[in-house]
Structure 1
C-alpha cells in the first residue's frame, strides 16, 4: 500500500473511531435521559405528550441538519478546499449560513404560531391519551421544542464546514454535551417543579451548547465569515441543486416516522412512549456505527469520485457496507435474544410498570428485524450523494413511504402496535434492496460477491451466537435471582459478553476479512506507536 493510500485509510479509521465513540456516548446518554424521565412519569399521558412534542422539531432537524445540509454542503465546500479556492469557499459557506439562519428563524416563528393547527397532522387524537389537558401540555412542549430548530440548523452548517476539513472532533463533542446538558438542566428544573417541561427546556439549552462547541473551531481552520448572501455564487447554485432532491428524499424517509407515530398515538395510552423507546434502542447501534462510518467515508468517496478514481470509490463503498453489516447483524440478533433482560435492566424502575417490559421487548424484537436494512442504507445513500446523484434515492424513498403506509394500515389492524414495527422493518429491507440495485446501475459492480460472502458468514456467526446466548439466558434465569438492579445488569453484561465472544470466535474461525482488518488496525494503533 502506498503512503498516500495508507494516510487516507488511517484518516478514515481515525474519523470513524472518533464518531463511533462520540455517538456511543451521546446515544447512551440519550437512553439515560429517557430512563430518568420514565422512572418518574412511567409510560403514560405525560411521556406520550413529551414524545409527541419531539415529532415536528425532530423532523425538521433530521431533514435539514441530519442529512440535507451535510449531503449538499460538504461536496461543494470540499471541492473549494481541495482546489485551494478558499475565498470562493468562504463566500459560499457564509451565504448558505446566512440563508439558513433566516429560513430557520421563519420556520420557528411559524411553528410557534401555528402549533395547535400542526398537531393534528402528527397525532391521531382518537387514542385514549389525548384528553384536553394532555393536548394543551403537548402544545406547550412543542412550542418550547421549536426553539432548538434555529440553533440546530446553524449547527448543521458549522458541522459541514468542520467535516469538510475532516475535523470530526468538535461535532462529536457537541453531540455528547447536548445530551449532558439536557439531563443536567432537566433534572435541575424537575426539582424546581417544572415537571416534564424542564427536559424540553434542557433540549433547547443543549442545542445552544452544541452550536457554541462548533463555532469556535471553524476559525482555527482559517474560515472567514462574510456578511453577505449571494444567490448568484456558483457554489450556492450547486448547493441548492443538490439540496432540493436530498431534502425531499430525507423528508419522505422521515415521514415514515411521522406515520408510525400517528398510528401509535391512536392506540392505547402509553403506546407512543413504548414505541419511541423501542426505536431508541433499535437506533442505538445504527447511530453508533452506521451513521459514523457512513459520514467518515463520505468525504473520501467524494474525493475519489472528483478525481475519477472509481476503483477506490467502489472499494470504500463495499468495505463500508461489509463493515456495517459485520457489526450491525450481531447487534440486531443479540438484542432480539436478550430483549427481555435488556428492557428489564434499563427501564424497570421507579414508576415504570412490569407489564411494559413484555410490550416494549416485543416491539423491540420486531424493529430489530429491519436493523440491517436501515444501517447499510446509510452507506449506500452516501454512495449516491458522493457521485452527486440525488434523484434516484428520492424516487425510492417515495415508493418506500407508500409501502410503509400501506403495510402499517394493514398490519396495525392485525397485530396492533407490533404491526407498526413489522411494517417499518419490512420497508427498511425493501429500501436497501432497491438502493443497492439502482446504485449498481449507476456505477457498475460494487464488489457484490465480496458483500454476499461476508453476509452469509455473518449470518452463520449470528446463528451460533443466538443459540449460545439463548442457552446462557435460560441457565442464568433458572439458577440466579434477578430481583435486584445489580443482578439485572449483571445478567445483561454476561449475556453480551458470551454472545460477543461466540460471534467473534466464529468470525475468527471463518477468517473473515472484516475481523482481520479490525484486529490489524488495533495492533497498528496500540502496539506499534
Structure 2
C-alpha cells in the first residue's frame, strides 16, 4: 500500500508541476484576452463532465464494486462487469458528444452569453469547443480503465497516464502552433489528442496486466443498475461544485474581456494548497471516522475530527495570509511573460486574494463533510451545497458590476464561508462536533500568527522595492527570500504562543532523519 501511495504521490506532483508550465505557456502566448477566454470556456465543458462522470463519482462507485466482485466471484466476473460498464459508458458518452457537436452554438450561448455580442470571439469559442468536446468521451473511458488498474493494484500506470494531458498540451503549444490558425486551436487539439494517448496507454497497461476490457454491447444488468445507484450521491455532490464553477464562468463572460483568463490563473494557484490539504484530509478522514463510529468509539472519532481541523487550519491559515500578502509578486513572477503583462498579473492577483479569503472554508468543507458521511447522512451536505449554490449566484449578480473580475471569486469565497458555518452548526447541534476552549484558543492564536506573518510580508514588500529593469527577475529573488521568512515568522509565533513546541518538533525531525539514514545503510 505504501509503495502504491508513494507512486501516485510522485506522479501527481509531477503532473502539477507540468500543469504549471502549461499554464505559463498559455499566459505567455495568449495573455489575458479574447483568445484565452474562448479557449478556457471551450475547455470548461469537457472538463466539467470529466469531473462529474470520469473521476470522483465514477471511481468512488466502480472501484469498490469491481474489487469486491474480483475478490468474491473471480477475475472472469470482474472482467465481465468492466466490459459491460465500458459498453454502457461509451454509448452514453458518444451520444452526448454527438448532441454537443450539433448544438454547440446553442450551448455556448448559455455558458458564455457575453461572447455573443463579440461575433469573432463567439465563433472562435464554438470552433474550439467542438474540437475539445470529444475529450470527454476519451477521458471518461480512460477513467474506467484506470479504475480497473487501481482495482488490480496497478497504481503507477493509472497515475502516470494522466501526465500525457500536460505533456502533449505543452508540445502542441510549442511545436504545433505554426500548423494551426492560432495557438488556441493548437491547444484545443492538444486536449483531444491527449485523451487519445491517455486512453491508449491505459488500454495497453490493462492488456499487459492480462485484463482485456473490450467493451460489450450495452445492457442494463442488475450490477449496472447498482453502479448507477451508487454513483448518484456522488454525482449530485460533484454537480453542486461544478455548477458553481460554471456560474462563475458564465458571469465572467459578461465582464470585460480577459476576466475569464484572470480568474482562471488565480484559481489555478489557489487550487495548489486547496488540492493538497483538502483532498488529503477529506480522503484519509472518512474511512477512519467510519471505523471508529461503527465500533462505538465516539470519543476517539471526536478526537480525530478535532485533530484534522487543527491540522488543516495550522497549514491553511498561513497559506491564505501568504497568498493575500504576496499575491501580486507571485502572479507576476509566474505568469507575466510574453503576452501576459505585469498589469495582467496585478489584476489576476486581485482575483487570487478574493479566492484566498475563502481558502480555509473551502478546505474545512472537505474536512467536515466526512463527519456526515461517516454517520450515514449523505443528503445534508448536498442540501447545504444547493443552498450555497443559490447564494453564490445571487452574490455573483450583486458583485459582478462593481468588482468586475474580483466579484465571482469573492462570491465563491463568501458562499464557502456560509457553507462551512452551516455545516459546523448542524454538526455541533447533533453532538457530532466538539470544540472545547483549548481548541478555540488555538484557532485564535493560529489566526493571529498568520495575520502577523502577513503584515510582516507586506512591510518587507514596502521596504524592499525592486528595480524596474528585469523586474520579474528581482521580484522572484525577493520572493525566494520572503517565502521562507514568512514560514519562520509563523513557526516562531506559534512557538511563542504555545501552539507548537518548535524545539521538540525539530528534535523529532532530527531523530527521524537519523533513523532513515541508519536504515539506508
Same fold (TM over 0.5): yes
The alpha carbon displacement at 1:308 in A equals 7.7
SS at match of 2:114: coil
Further displaced range: 222-231 or 395-404: 222-231
The alpha carbon displacement at 1:231 in A equals 3.6
Name the structure 2 match of 1:294: 282
Q: Is the 8 A contact 2:293 2:374 kept in 1?
A: yes
1:383 and 1:421, CA in 2 relative to 1: closer, same or farther beyond 3 A? same
Residue by residue, what CA displacement relative to the aligned partner does 1:276-308 show, whole Å, maximum 9, x if unpaired?
A: 111111112222332245345656667777888
Unaligned runs of 5+ residues in structure 1 are 1-10
Q: Is the 8 A contact 1:404 1:424 kept in 2?
A: yes
Q: 1:72 aligns with which of 54, 61, 77?
A: 61
Name the structure 1 match of 2:123: 136
The answer to whether residue 491 in structure 2 is matched with residue 504 in structure 1 is yes
Name the structure 2 match of 1:246: 234
Q: Is the 8 A contact 2:7 2:156 kept in 1?
A: yes
CA distance in 2, matches of 1:312, 1:209: 46
Q: Is the 8 A contact 2:88 2:219 kept in 1?
A: no
Q: 1:151 aligns with which of 129, 133, 138?
A: 138
CA distance in 2, matches of 1:313, 1:213: 41
Residue by residue, what CA displacement relative to the aligned partner does 1:12-57 show, whole Å, maximum 9, x if unpaired?
A: 7x76665554444323322321221222222111111111111211
The alpha carbon displacement at 1:131 in A equals 2.1
Q: Is the 8 A contact 2:252 2:259 kept in 1?
A: yes
Name the structure 2 match of 1:367: 355
Q: Is the 8 A contact 2:173 2:186 kept in 1?
A: yes
Name the structure 2 match of 1:394: 382
Name the structure 1 match of 2:454: 466
CA distance in 1, matches of 2:192, 2:242: 21
Name the structure 2 match of 1:409: 397
Further displaced range: 34-43 or 68-77: 68-77
1:86 and 1:57, CA in 2 relative to 1: closer, same or farther beyond 3 A? same
Q: Is the 8 A contact 2:115 2:121 kept in 1?
A: no
The alpha carbon displacement at 1:370 in A equals 0.7
Correspondence 1:486-501 to 2 at 5 A = 486-501=473-488
The answer to whether residue 95 in structure 2 is matched with residue 106 in structure 1 is yes
CA distance in 2, matches of 1:112, 1:471: 53
The alpha carbon displacement at 1:254 in A equals 0.9
Largest Rg, 1 or 2? 2
The alpha carbon displacement at 1:200 in A equals 1.0
TM-score, with structure 1 as normaliser: 0.84
1:209 and 1:375, CA in 2 relative to 1: closer, same or farther beyond 3 A? farther
Residue by residue, what CA displacement relative to the aligned partner does 1:397-438 show, whole Å, maximum 9, x if unpaired?
A: 211110101111112233232222211101111222334444
The alpha carbon displacement at 1:123 in A equals 1.0
Name the structure 1 match of 2:268: 280
Residue by residue, what CA displacement relative to the aligned partner does 1:223-251 show, whole Å, maximum 9, x if unpaired?
A: 67485566443x54432222123212211
Name the structure 1 match of 2:29: 40
Q: CA RMSD in A?
A: 3.6
Name the structure 2 match of 1:8: none
1:434 and 1:301, CA in 2 relative to 1: closer, same or farther beyond 3 A? same
CA distance in 2, matches of 1:246, 1:521: 43
Name the structure 2 match of 1:5: none
CA distance in 2, matches of 1:109, 1:307: 50
The alpha carbon displacement at 1:217 in A equals 5.0
Q: Is the 8 A contact 2:385 2:419 kept in 1?
A: yes
Q: Is the 8 A contact 1:187 1:199 kept in 2?
A: no
The answer to whether residue 258 in structure 2 is matched with residue 270 in structure 1 is yes
Q: Is the 8 A contact 1:294 1:320 kept in 2?
A: no
The alpha carbon displacement at 1:259 in A equals 1.0
**How many residues are aligned here?**
513
Q: 1:50 aligns with which of 39, 59, 69?
A: 39
The answer to whether residue 194 in structure 2 is matched with residue 206 in structure 1 is yes
Residue by residue, what CA displacement relative to the aligned partner does 1:476-500 show, whole Å, maximum 9, x if unpaired?
A: 226x666343322222222112112
Q: Is the 8 A contact 2:55 2:140 kept in 1?
A: no
Residue by residue, what CA displacement relative to the aligned partner does 1:321-359 show, whole Å, maximum 9, x if unpaired?
A: 443333322222111110111111112221223322321
The alpha carbon displacement at 1:222 in A equals 7.3
1:451 and 1:211, CA in 2 relative to 1: closer, same or farther beyond 3 A? farther
The alpha carbon displacement at 1:274 in A equals 1.0
Unaligned runs of 5+ residues in structure 2 are none
Name the structure 2 match of 1:191: 178
The answer to whether residue 328 in structure 2 is matched with residue 330 in structure 1 is no
CA distance in 1, matches of 2:48, 2:128: 15
TM-score, with structure 2 as normaliser: 0.85
Q: Is the 8 A contact 1:392 1:438 kept in 2?
A: no
Name the structure 2 match of 1:125: 114
Q: Is the 8 A contact 2:446 2:499 kept in 1?
A: no
1:94 and 1:330, CA in 2 relative to 1: closer, same or farther beyond 3 A? farther
The alpha carbon displacement at 1:173 in A equals 2.2
1:82 and 1:507, CA in 2 relative to 1: closer, same or farther beyond 3 A? farther
